[in-house]
Amino acid sequence: MRALILLGLVGLAAQLVDGSLGMAYGVTSTTLLLAIGTNAAAASATVHLAEIGTTLASGISHWRFNNVDWKVVAKIGIPGAVGAFAGATFLSSLSTELAAPIMSIILLSLGIYILIRFTAYGLPKGNLGKPLRKRFLAPLGLVAGFVDATGGGGWGPVGTPAILASGRIPPRKVIGSIDASEFLVAIAASVGFLIGIGSENINFAWVGVLLLGGVIAAPIAAWLVRHIPPRILGSAVGGVIILTNVRTLLRSDWIDAPGNVQAIAYIVIAVIWVAAIVYSVREYRRDKENESVEAIEAELRQRAAEEGEKSPA
C-alpha cells in the first residue's frame, strides 16, 4: 500500500512538472520505476498506459485554458505515434540486462539536456506568429516518439525545446500542444508494448495510481503554466533525473562502481545541481527586473507622447 501511495504522489508530481514544462512526466516516472527494479520494457509500458489518461486530461485542461494550437498537434502527433510504436516494439525485443542501462543512458542524456537548456537559456521568445511547417514538425515527431518509447520518456524533452527554440508560438501554447499530442503517442506506444511483451508483465495497479495522480494534477498544471517560472523548475527536475539515472548506471553490471566512487559522483552532481538552481533563480529575478524597467520606460514614453500631443502648437 505504501508503494502505491508513493507512486500516486510521483504521478501527481510528475504531471505537475510535465504540465508546466511540457516535459518530464515519462522521464520522471520511468526513472523511479527503474530505481525500484522494474525491467525497462515494463516500466515504459506502465508509464505509457498511465499517460493515455494523463495526457487526455492534460490536453483537455490546456484546451480549456486556450493553451493548444491544434494545427501543431496534428502535424507532430501522427508522426510521433508512428515513432512511438516503432520504439516500443524495438525496446520489447531487447533483453532485460541490455535494455535497462540503455534506457538509463537515454534518460540521463535527457536530464542533462533539460538541466542545461533551462538553466542556461530559459525560454526563447522571438519569431512569434510565424507558422511551423510540416517538414519541420513531422521528422521531429517521428524522432521524439521513438525516443519516448525506448527511453520511457522523451516526447517533451525532445519536442518542447525544439518548438520553443523556433520562437514561433507562445511558450504556453508550445507546452499545451505537446501535452495534447502526447495522447496519440501514449496510445501508439502502449499498443506496441502490449504486442511486444504482453499484458502479464505490466502491473496495472501501478498504472492506476500513476494515472490517478496525473489526472488530479493535470488541471492544476494547466493553470500553473501561466504562473510558475519554467527556468527554475527545469533546473530542479533536470538534476533529479541526472542523479537518479547516474545511480542506476553506477550500480549496473556495466559499471558496478565501488561505493566511494559512487559517493564522489553523487556529491559532484549535487553541487552542480544546487549551483544550477541558484543561477536559475538569479537569472529569473534579473529578467523580471529588466521586464519591469522596460515596462516603466515604455509607460513613460507613452505618457510623454500623450503630453506632447496635448501641448499647443
- Residue 44 pLDDT > 70, yes or no? yes
User: What single-letter DSSP state applies at residue 22?
Assistant: S
pLDDT digit string, tens, across residues 112-166: 887 887 788 765 555 445 556 777 888 888 988 888 787 666 777 777 767 766 6
Domain count, the chain: 1
User: What single-letter DSSP state applies at residue 301?
Assistant: H
CA 145 to centroid of chain Cα atoms:
13
Return the number of other C-beta atoms located less than 10 Å from residue 233's C-beta: 20
Q: Which of 45-49, 89-93, 140-144, 213-217 has the lowest mean pLDDT?
A: 213-217
C-alpha closest to that of 154 among 24, 4, 7, 44:
24
By the 10 Å C-beta count (0-12 exposed, 13-18 middle, 19+ buried), 271 is classed as exposed
- Mean pLDDT, rounded, of the chain: 76
Q: How big is the CA angle at 76 (ends 100 and 156), to the nearest 5 degrees?
A: 40
pLDDT digit string, tens, across residues 249-266: 887 777 778 888 889 999
pTM of the shown model: 0.64
Grid cell for residue 225: 503554466
The C-alpha atoms of residue 287 and residue 213 are separated, in whole angstroms, by 33
Half-sphere exposure of residue 296: CA atoms within 13 angstroms, side-chain side:
6
Instruction: Reduce the DSSP state of residue 75 to 3 states and report it.
Output: helix
- Residue 285 pLDDT > 60, yes or no? yes
Task: Check if the beta carbon of residue 100 is closer than 8 Å to that of residue 248.
Answer: yes
Q: What pLDDT was estimated at residue 24?
A: 65
Find the domain containing 300 and state its range: 2-310
Helix axes 155-166, 2-21, angle to 10 degrees: 20
